[in-house]
Structure 1
Amino acid sequence: MNAFDGNNDIRLAATRALYNALGFAQANFSNEMERNYIMRVVCEATLSTEVKIRQAAFECLVAISSTYYEKLSSYMQDIFSITAKAVKEDEEPVALQAIEFWSSICDEEIDILDEYGNDFTADSDVPCYYFIKQALPALVPMLLECLLKQEEDQDQDEGAWNIAMAGGTCLGLVARTVGDDIVPLVMPFIEDNITKPDWRQREAATYAFGSILEGPSPEKLTPIVNVALNFMLIALTKDPNNHVKDTTAWTLGRIFEFMHGSTVETPVITHENCQQILTVLLQSMKDVPNVAEKACGALYFLAQGYEDSGSVSPLSPFFQDIVQALLTVTHREDAGESRLRTAAYETLNEVVRCSTEETAPTVMQLVPVIMMELHQTLEAQKLSSDEREKQNELQGLLCGCLQVIIQKLGSAESTKYVFMQYADQMMELFLRVFACRNATVHEEAMLAIGALAYVSGPNFVKYMQGFYPYLEMGLQNSEEYQVCSITVGVVGDLCRALEDKILPFCDGIMTHLLKDLSSNQLHRSVKPPIFSCFGDIALAIGENFEKYLMYAMPMLRSAADLSAHAQTADDEMLEYTNQLRNGILEAYSGIFQGFKNSPKTQLLMPYAPHILQFLDSLYNEKDMDDAVMKTAIGVLGDLADTLGTNAGPLINQSVSSKEFLEECLSSDDLLIKESAEWAKIAISRAISS
């Protein structure tokens, strides 16, 4: 990197090599002399005459900021000067990396603050140095300056990345890092620019406002938002510039996402202004695609805010108009642009999901409409590959919409009976969709069938003969692992719906699940749900699971041994290991509960010592999350409950069962505590009897 003989190729290759080697430089960064040297060389490279070298050097700084955050204190003053110069004067690829450095510092500090709150002690793994808080007075003006560098022809559809967008994203992260402190620094910029004749200034002011809505407290923001809301609604319909309207609709979405339902004295959205908000949003859905898409997004968050409003929602009087407006958007000729059609269906789904009983008749009217649209996509003949792709996408959206409607109408007693009259036609459509053999559509149709099975209960058995071949196909599809994973989840839905009526199909299902687990090709994320599925099957068919024990239990045992002592080097690996443990424990739980009160409970005795050993090792590792803790203490209770007197001596011999139970009983987590209280009763019964 110090090759001053003018050979820029060598310097660039060396800078990129350093970037790739930074993960291995812990020892060097722990040595002050070596750290100073590395930082000096990287900072010098940011001043190279060659753009690519400057860009690569800033990429190194970004990587250093996330890998060695705790070592940066003495360099921050210099780095600020270097990044500020780059943002102000350098070419876009370099400036973008300079902004990324500050976004990366925000990410680090947000993580630390989330983990520790403000309770830093000498024992904290990584203390927070509050770099962002210290840099605020200079950093915020620099980022606000970036917002004014929009590109006239930036492609709304492709989501082009430029300095203005990077600046806004970073400003949003700064707001999340420092909370209320950002508001007084940004408000003067907004007030100065929001009514200027130049669209760039109005758009930048709106973007700045939208960016700082996540982070500061509702108390700080509510008075400002209450003043701004009316202004935004007028701007969305009246501003002559599409960029400004696009950003205004996005900002309204952010207001509804973060300020809706906050418990301040003067709520932002009231019964009084709700009609005006809806009128503007529905009007904006007729605008150009990128503005209409953002208006759909704003309506999505508006509806979501009324999810827990009980039986009365301010949206109910306008429900029919909202649904009609969204359906109209899906039929626009330009609905393929700016993700508009997708946004309209996603919003329709959310509006239905958060609707009240009062609007159920309108949701019911939606069923034949969506079914007819799905039917029409299946009738289309001789399509080009491009048309086929669009058709598949539409089928996926329609199946997704039907899934939400099934969950909504099928779960309420008042609508379930009438709704179930559509079940046969719906199932026929889903089976025709499977015949199209497209992965995305396959996923959505599978989820919709899972929902239909759940609300149909045992009656779903009449569809199993026709559906089973597609279920098999999904379980065998290890290449498109999301399809496989979703199909495994649907097997769980079928078990809960059909109970022992699923028995005739279990040989085939278990064969495919065991084959999947033995395959080296299977994506690791599918394994936890497969183990969990063993539990669902055992729970559904009870002692009939006997013939699968000799295959399932050794697989569970080897997975348990691996997961108990897994090397969880990073957060991602630890999260996966805990998912795996949870799946294994859910399998054990389902198997024990399935055999409860059966004369065949003795069949489980040979496996009990290992299961208790697994629970001991989980307790001793001290790295299980709350979900695993709850399932684990539940398994201890299930084991005692099912095996009864036979379990007593084994539990007494277990090294840490007693301590584990006591820890769970004193947990702050109510679910863990409840499981532990039940386990305690079951264990006491087993031991005393």
Structure 2
Amino acid sequence: MCRIIANQQLLDSVRMSAGLALKNSLAKSQSCIGILADQRTKHVIKTNVLPLLATKPRHVANIMSQLVATMAAIDIPRGEGDDIITTLVDNITQRHHPSNVKQVALQTIGYICESTKNALLTAIIDGSRREQLDVGVKIAAIKALYNSLEFIRDNFEIDVERDFIIKVICDAATPNTSSTIELQVAAYECLNKVASLYYEKLEDYMTSTLYNLTLNGMAQTSDSSIVLLSIEFWSTICDIEITRKKENTTPMFSFADKSMISILPTLFKLLIKKHDKLEHDDEWDIPKAASHCLALLASCCKELVVPPLIRFIEKNLLTVEHVDWHQREAAIIAFGSILNGPSKIKMKPLIEQILPTILACIKDSNVHVRLAAAWTLTEIIKESSQVLDQPATLHAIVSAIKDGLGDASQKVSHTACIAIIHCAERLNPSPNKLLIDTGPLSKYTHSIITCLLDNSQTFDLQDDLYMQTVYEAIAAIVKYSTKSSLIGVLLSCVYRLSDKILVYSHRIMRLVSSILLLSQKECNKSMSVLVEDVCLLASAMIISIGPHFECFVSELVPQIGSLMNQDHRLCLIGIGIMSDLCSTIPHIAKPHAPLFMQLLLDSLSNDHLHRDLRPASLSCFGDVAHALGPEFLPFVNTMMMIIQQAGNLQANHNDPEMVAYVDAIRVAMIEAFVGMLQGLGQSAHTRDVFLPHVNGFMLFVNSLVTGNARSDALNQAILGLLGDVARIYGNQVPISMLESVLHDLMISNLKGGINFSNRTKEIAQWAQKPAHYLP
């Protein structure tokens, strides 16, 4: 018969008949033993038949395919089918084989799987049964069943066979004296796969068997793997039912809706951590699995989850009694997990009620609570962005996010970055991609960018994920920026990049100049705001590129004069630019210092001068004096008159605002005097000429020390002055005067009248060193 099959000279129909006859003979169990038991006979059959899988007539090859599958069904269970498998694999994988050969090989594999699966399933089920005493065999059998589930759909269509398979799995998952955790875990894995593959067949088992088993599994305390797999079972059910509801697929049993009332309390309990450590992002644990399942349950059951959730939150977060951080964290996570489920209208009042508590928790003393609050705030922004529509609420949210950005925990900072990204996306002021004038986030753009850039310095530079999130947050802010906030973004970048911004300096300063020139032609409120921004940008460029700013000074200085004639905010910015030029690049600013002096004197002579300008002007005199150095001498008498007039200003101690203003004036006076001291001290002649003014001014300072309470800024200014006087004049100034002032400052600090900050203490230590070395 084999010779007939292999003889290509014969008619195809004859060869096909011979092939069918041999297949039918082998298919009979008694014949199988008789024919294939003899190794020589089997070798002859295989040698003739296997090459025919590559024969060209497809109808002949189809018969050969069935014949080889029958041979495999006999040999493979006996461990003797390696040659068949090797031939099939080679026919598929060897590139030189034509398409028809590969198709026949794949067809043969399909026949083999179909013919062997029932026998294999019988063996697997037999090894899984309760009567099997060897636990190792049971575990291997359950794992084999797991790998076979895709191929036994026909068996699941038969009620008796399906019942038996489910019973075997549930028996293996149920704890008993002869069971092990490994066996139970393998069985739960099987159940989850059954749920994903055969949802439509589960109705008869969900009301009792599977429901009780998985609910008990979630309450398991001996092994976390069983808890995780039990949670995964219900996550799978919810996932399937969410999809079926969307696609209107039948059957739809609503297992989640029916079981939710029992599952929710269990999930709430599982959200509560049993440890204090922060998990890694990729570490899947019970609280994370419970949160994920809760989110799916909410998406599936919608508003049904809200009443139990409210009770849980009220008990664990909103109660007036002291609640452990574990409960507070769980309640916050629970709220964040369900936001994607119920309708936005249903959730709106609940979000408004709970949001203030969530925002407050971002400052909680416990890092777990802060992280949970930051995550839930992000979920609120993603799922219920209408909360951002109220300006007061948006302000509170942005403030909380900035608190999160500055958190000591990198995880909290990372989560706050994600909140920024979603906030920027949800508040996109121009969905049509047109650049508009302003938007809800415009007023916060600069401060957010600054926080993000500051935050990038504290992150672990080796942690690519966290650094990437910071830059993505910055990119989101820039992407959705409006016209009014773009310069603020640029300003933050200039400060952060420092001298690295030099390559863009000409483009930036052209922008500054063009806007300042335009502002002289157009006078309106929006232009005034824009001018403020570009002037601040100019100041940032001065500080960032230092001496390289020289080529822009001559063009910028005339603009300063124009600013000094504007409203007090622009005038204040103009004073700031003069200070930056004189303090950062004094040798470059020196030729323009006389003009600066004149602008400042004109400003102070204005009877309607806004009072915020007076301290800034006084302080700026010091920067100009430092830049001019000995050449400031002609202005000394004028300056001392101005300082004397300012020193005569007294405050009503019942007026806190006036007290703060007078304190600021005194700080500015000392800063102006220190600038003159440092500038004139560069030459022996001017230093000697200025000495009488030093002695007189020290008497005034002594009166401040023995007076009422002072701000920390004023203490720092006084101490800095004492150090400079001792350093520049040495024994030309009575040491007793310096020591007297220092002594009075220290005594007032020790008595508690003045509380020195750490920075003030550092300046005090520095100020005392020169005095010790006076001859």
| TM superposition score category, shorter chain reference | 0.5 to 0.7
Q: 1:421 aligns with which of 493, 503, 509?
A: 503
Instruction: Tell me the CA shift for residue 573 of structure 1.
Output: 0.9
State how far apart, in whole Å, the 1-side matches of 2:355 and 2:760 are.
39
For the 8 Å contact 1:453–1:493, the answer to whether it is kept is yes
Counterpart position of 1:506: 593
- Does residue 648 in structure 1 map to residue 734 in structure 2? yes
Q: Which residue of 2 aligns with 1:248?
A: 351
CA contact (8 A) 1:303 1:351 kept: yes
User: By how many angstroms is 1:633 displaced?
Assistant: 2.4
Which of 619, 627, 639 is equivalent to 1:552? 639
How do residues 440-589 of structure 1 correspond to structure 2 at under 5 angstroms? 440-477=529-566, 480-562=567-649, 565-589=650-674
- Separation in 1, partners of 2:324, 2:450: 26
Length-normalised TM-score, structure 2? 0.50
- Contact 1:326-1:348 within 8 A present in 2 as well: no
CA distance in 1, matches of 2:350, 2:515: 38
Partner of 1:71: none
Compute the displacement of 1:580 (Å). Answer: 0.9
Output the CA distance in 2 between the equivalents of 1:572 and 1:503.
Answer: 36
Q: Note closer, same or farther for the CA distance 1:369–1:266 as it changes in structure 2 (3 Å cut).
A: closer
Tell me what 1:342 maps to: 442
Q: Which amino acid aligns with 1:259?
A: C
Contact 1:641–1:682, Cα closer than 8 Å, also in 2: yes
The answer (yes or no) to whether the contact 1:235–1:248 under 8 Å persists in 2 is no
Against the structure 1 CA distance between its residues 637 and 280, is the aligned structure 2 distance closer, same or farther, given a 3 Å change threshold? Answer: same
Output the amino acid matched with 1:580.
I
Change (3 A) 1:232 1:332: farther
Paired with 1:284 and 1:555, the residues of 2 have a C-alpha distance of 58
1:402: which partner in 2?
490
Distance 1:337 1:547, change over 3 A: closer
Compute the displacement of 1:582 (Å): 0.9
Helix, strand or coil at the partner of 1:483: helix
**1:314–1:677 CA distance, 2 compared to 1 (3 A):** closer
* Alpha-carbon distance in 2 for matches of 1:339, 1:645: 61
The 1:350–1:684 alpha-carbon spacing in structure 2 relative to 1, beyond 3 Å, is closer
SS at match of 1:476: coil
Counterparts of 2:375 and 2:540 in 1: how far apart (Å)? Answer: 33
Are residue 230 (structure 1) and residue 333 (structure 2) matched?
Answer: yes
Give the 5 Å matches for 1:253-272. Answer: 255-256=358-359, 258-260=360-362, 262-264=364-366, 266-269=368-371
Post-superposition offset of 1:323: 8.1
Structure with bigger RCO (C-alpha 8 Å, 6+ apart) = 1
Is the contact made by 2:719 and 2:767 (CA closer than 8 Å) also made in structure 1? yes
Task: Give unpaired runs (5+ residues) of structure 2.
Answer: 1-302
Offset at 1:462? 1.4
Letter in 2 for 1:586: E
Residue in 2 that maps onto 1:82: none
In structure 2, the residue matched to 1:669 is 757
Alpha-carbon distance in 2 for matches of 1:538, 1:295: 45
Which residue identity does 2:533 align to in structure 1?
Answer: E
1:407–1:455 contact (8 Å) kept in structure 2: yes
Provide closer, same or farther for how the CA distance between residues 229 and 684 of structure 1 changes in structure 2, counting only shifts above 3 A.
same
Return the match for 2:702 from 587, 598, 616. Answer: 616
1:650, CA displacement in angstroms? 7.6
Q: Which residue in the other structure is 1:281 paired with?
A: 381
Correspondence list, 1:101-112, <5 A: none
Give the alignment partner of residue 591 of structure 1, picking from 647, 652, 676: 676
2: CA distance between counterparts of 1:372 and 1:276? 24
8 Å contact kept, 2:445–2:485 = yes
CA drift at 1:584: 0.8
Amino acid at match of 1:509: F
Q: Residue 439 in 1 paired to residue 528 in 2?
A: yes
Give the AA of the match of 1:602: D
Distance in 2, Cα, partners of 1:372 & 1:425: 20
Please tell me whether the aligned partners of residues 304 and 350 of structure 1 are also in contact (alpha carbons under 8 angstroms): no
Equivalent residues of 1:494, 1:502 under 8 A apart: yes
- Evaluate the alpha carbon distance shift between residue 583 and residue 347 of structure 1 in structure 2; reply closer, same or farther with a 3 A threshold: closer
Amino acid at match of 1:679: A
Classify the secondary structure of the residue corresponding to 2:635: helix
Corresponding position of 1:315: 414
The alpha-carbon distance between structure 1 residues 592 and 274, as it changes in their structure 2 partners (threshold 3 A), is same
For the residues of structure 1 that align with 2:548 and 2:419, how far apart are their CA atoms? 32
Question: In 2, distance between residues paired with 1:614 and 1:362?
Answer: 54
Cα distance in 2, alignment partners of residues 246 and 591 from structure 1: 62
Query: What corresponds to 1:380 in structure 2?
Result: none
Q: Is the 8 A contact 1:260 1:268 kept in 2?
A: yes
CA contact (8 A) 1:633 1:664 kept: no
Tell me if structure 1 keeps the 8 A contact 2:487–2:537: yes
Distance apart, 1:595 and its partner CA:
3.2
CA distance in 2, matches of 1:338, 1:464: 31
SS in 1 for 2:773: helix
Once the two structures are TM-superposed, the CA of residue 527 in structure 1 deviates from its matched residue by 0.8
Q: Distance in 2 between matches of 1:425 and 1:628?
A: 40
Distance 1:570 1:551, change over 3 A: same
- Distance in structure 2 (CA, Å) of the matches to 1:540 and 1:517: 20
Q: Secondary structure of 1:644's match?
A: helix
For the structure 1 residues 401 and 432, does the alpha-carbon distance in structure 2 shift closer, same or farther, using more than 3 Å as the test? Answer: same
Task: Give, in whole Å, the separation in 2 of the partners of 1:515 and 1:206.
Answer: 67
Residue by residue over 1:269-297, the C-alpha shift from the partner in whole angstroms, topping out at 9 and shown as x without a partner, is 06xx8667545524545x58616995685
Q: How does 1:62-73 map to 2 (within 5 A)?
A: none
> Is the contact between residue 630 and residue 672 of structure 1 (CA under 8 Å) also seen in structure 2?
yes
Distance across 2 between alignment mates of 1:235 and 1:291: 23
Residues 629 and 682 in structure 2, CA contact (< 8 A), matched pair in contact too: no
> Is contact 2:478–2:489 with CA below 8 Å preserved after alignment?
no
In terms of mean alpha carbon deviation, does 498-507 or 658-667 score higher? 658-667
Partner of 2:430: 331
Cα distance change on mapping 1:632 and 1:668 into 2, 3 Å? closer
1:430 equivalent to 2:512? Answer yes
Aligned equivalents of 2:419, 2:509: Cα separation in 1? 27
> How far 1:267 sits from its partner (Å)?
3.4
User: 2: distance between equivalents of 1:526 and 1:253?
Assistant: 39
Aligned residue identity for 1:453:
I
> Secondary structure at the residue paired with 1:524?
coil
Pick one of 394, 397, 402 that aligns with 1:298: 397
**Number of the residue aligned with 1:96:** none
Structure 1: which amino acid aligns with 2:662?
A: T
Superposed displacement of residue 448, structure 1: 2.0
Could you say which residue in structure 2 is the equivalent of 1:682?
A: 770
Tell me how far 1:648 sits from its aligned partner. Answer: 1.9
- Give the AA of the match of 2:369: P
Corresponding residue of 1:638: 724
1:577 CA displacement: 0.9
- Which deviations, in whole Å up to 9, do the C-alpha atoms of 1:557-594 show, x marking residues without a partner? 211122xx433331111111111111111111222233
Task: Rate the CA distance shift 1:423–1:611 in 2: closer, same or farther, 3 A.
Answer: same
1:502 Cα offset (Å):
0.7
Q: Distance in 2 between matches of 1:447 and 1:468?
A: 14
Residue ranges of structure 1 left out of the alignment (5+ in a row)? 1-196, 375-393, 411-415
1:427, 1:449 within 8 Å by CA — same for their partners in 2? yes
